[in-house]
Structure 1
Amino acid sequence: MGANYRAACRAKSNADFINKLKIVEEEADDSMYFLEIFLVISEKEHQEIKRLLKEANELLSIVVASINTMRKKLN
């Protein structure tokens, strides 16, 4: 997520920025998926996995809000 967000910050246009943020959104969702799997198969560290899931969800919400804001600016 971090590397893709950094790439988004160096976007060449607003459309490019949105496109790169969509990649960040995908990566955040992928990360959440794997954390959910770890939660199911893990015998310990449930609190840490839940904390990471919460943080990933918060980051995903921020990215989606940013995408929506940029789309509104373009219209």
Structure 2
Amino acid sequence: MVVSGIIYVSGAIGIELLEGREAVTHGFESPGFKVLYTLEESLEMGGLILFLYALLSYRHFSLEIATPGAS
């Protein structure tokens, strides 16, 4: 869960800073801005997917411990 948070925040804040710099320097229609925008959104969605996977895995694991032998 911590790793997913790091991935999400690095996309939301880290790439956003680079994206803003690119927008000021070359404009919103530059290829560099579009690449950074796509990377930012991909990191945010990847972090969210990893968080949901970790959460569901934890739930599955905790249910196995609570009810041994039942699937």
Coarse TM-score class (shorter-chain normalised):
0.5 to 0.7
Partners of 1:40 and 1:55 in 2: how far apart? 15
RMSD between aligned residues = 2.1
TM-score by length of 1: 0.59
Q: What is the percent sequence identity of the aligned residues?
A: 12
Whole-Å separation in 2 of the counterparts to 1:28 and 1:59: 5
Structure 1 stretches lacking a partner, 5+ long: 1-17
Query: Structure 1 residue 34: deviation in Å?
Result: 0.8
Distance change >3 Å, CA 28–CA 39, structure 1 → 2: same
5+ residue gaps in structure 2? 60-71
Instruction: List structure 1 segments (4+ residues) > 3 angstroms apart after TM superposition.
Output: none
What is the total number of aligned residue pairs between the two structures?
Answer: 58
Q: C-alpha separation between the residues in 2 aligned to 1:54 and 1:20?
A: 20
Indicate which of 25, 29, 38 corresponds to 1:42: 25
Residue 20 (structure 1) aligned with residue 3 (structure 2): yes
- Equivalent position SS for 1:72: helix
The answer on 1:32 being equivalent to 2:2 is no
56-65 vs 35-44, which deviates more? 35-44
